[in-house]
Amino acid sequence: TENLLIQSEKLSSAGQLAASVAHEIRNPLTSLKGFLQLMEAGMDNSGTYLKIMKEEIEKIEAISKELLFIAKPSPNELKRENLIELVGEVCLLMNSQARMHDIRLKKKFDCEEFMLNCDRSQFKQVLINLIKNAIEAMEENGTIEIHIHTKEQLLIEVMDEGPGVPEEMKEKLGEPFYTTKQNGTGLGLMVTKQILKNHGAKLEVKDREIKGSNFRISFKDLD
């Protein structure tokens, strides 16, 4: 059976999200304040302090950057875009990051043009999030495949050769701040899910036959 990433409305409820954002931001803020107080008190260790402070600021920066995408609840820039070209652009963009990890992006599209009503920058963000996760899952070496099927139903698949998502974790994906990474924000899939919902699409995760996961975007109605 299929494992839906998109779950009940409870996760997108603004109140719960606000509470968890406040919590996530408070930790780095508390630590920043502590280090500032130490520096104020004249503790001569500012080199080390500054490094940690910078990391804490980067954490807050990463959280706010991802949150900006949910601040805009519905796509107001729906335009007809050539999906094939758009996905090609994202691959080009992500190629250098992939190469640094010795990872190859392999595209397989069943046509050269497919027009889709979408918000260009938001839809790119969806693909960037999925490809970034795929790279992070694989760490070093391998191939990420990006397939587009347009024949019966529009499907976009991002497939990696990483460890996959354990069955019991699948339902957690997309919950705000759920992350298994040291420096993760746990917001990427939540944002992804929200953007796709605004486009009448959904996200599922499947296991690949041999190794890795397949994050699949499917569209309900094509116009």
By CB under 5 A, tell whether 133 contacts Mg ion: yes
- Residue with Cβ nearer ligand ADP (120 or 172): 172
Q: How far out from the chain centre does Cα 55 lie?
A: 20
Q: How far is the CB of 217 from Mg ion (least distance, A)?
A: 15
Provide the minimum distance between the beta carbon of 43 and Mg ion in the complex, in angstroms, as a whole number: 36
- Comparison of 54 and 65: residue with beta carbon closer to ligand ADP: 65
Query: Which of 188, 199, 203, 217 touches Mg ion (CB under 5 A)?
Result: 188
Indicate the residue among 34 and 208 with the shorter CB distance to ligand ADP.
208
Residue number with CB closer to ligand ADP (94 or 187): 187
Cβ-closest position to Mg ion: 188
CB of 21 to ligand ADP, least distance (A): 14
The least CB distance from residue 205 to ligand ADP, in Å, is 8
How far does the chain reach from its first CA to its final CA, in angstroms? 28
What Cα–Cα distance (Å) separates residue 96 from each residue in 92, 140, 214?
8, 14, 22
Instruction: Identify which of residues 108 and 181 has a Cβ nearer to ligand ADP in the complex.
Output: 181
The pairing of beta strand 78-82 with beta strand 103-109 = unpaired
Rounded least distance, CB 143 to Mg ion, Å: 19
Q: Output the smallest distance, CB 85 to ligand ADP, in A.
A: 24
Of 12 and 133, which CB lies nearer to Mg ion in the complex structure? 133
Distance CA 48, CA 185 (A): 24
Residues that bind Mg ion (CB under 5 A): 133, 188
